[in-house]
Amino acid sequence: MNVKGVKTKVSVDLVDHFIVPDCHEEISILYEDESLLVINKPSGLLSLSGKNPKNKDSVHYRLVEDYPTVTLAHRLDFGTSGVMLLAKNKQVNANLTQQFQARTVTKRYESILAGHLRNEEGVINLPIAKDAALFPRLKICNQEGKEARSKYQVLERLTGPSRTRVQFTPLTGRTHQLRLHSQAIGHPILGCDLYGSVETQGLAARLLLHAVEITITHPHSQKPISFISPSPF
């Protein structure tokens, strides 16, 4: 893809000492049964409490009081909002873990990227590795990286400034995959603090990435079931 790259500058010291701002938005429950708890995670809330004691607030921290046995079947980044799946017991968690490992879980995201993508759809196939020099950032690395593939489709082209609303379907589940892949093709997600420029960060008050839908095989019924949360932006 012939696109113009965007320079990125991140302060490692800032990241290492980052204290999460208070999140006043509530968690909403989308679905619940004897096995599953499905929520709409707000942007600006950790999935799991951080190592720093000042970063205690999280999805798990808030829910464990009412659901003592609940565990996270997967995680969403701090800035990402949308559908998040939790298991109510160890057996269900093991079942869901197997589904994620087998890549039978389908996830769909919506995002707004900087600039206009050249193609209407495609697959970004760029391996991802840890970046020891810029933790917690990751990097594209053909030598050390693990396979990472993201399917995208243009939903809308916006102007003033140029932006593109896209639908992402990650075909693998690497950490920061959609954010890093977007930056790697020269179109970072608006509001992204790790992989955006000063300009693209300033175009949104939050990370414009939302988990719209997740489809799994229900651990008990063994039938496909989907959960949806429309994009708020």
- Residues annotated as catalytic are 77
| Both tokens assigned to 203 | 């175009």
Q: Which DSSP state fits 59?
A: H
Pairing state between β 121-125 and 149-158:
antiparallel
Torsion of CA 125, 131, 134, 140, to 10 degrees: -20
Q: Where are the alpha helices (DSSP H) in 17-118?
A: 59-63, 90-101
Q: Where are the alpha helices (DSSP H) in the chain?
A: 12-16, 59-63, 90-101, 177-184, 198-202
Determine the distance from the C-alpha atom of residue 126 to the mean position of all C-alpha atoms in its chain, rounded to a whole number: 17
d(CA 231, CA 213): 10
Is 182 exposed, middle or buried, given 0-12, 13-18 or 19+ CB atoms closer than 10 A? buried
Determine the 3-state secondary structure of 198 from DSSP: helix
- Provide the CB-side half-sphere exposure for 144 (13 A, CA): 7
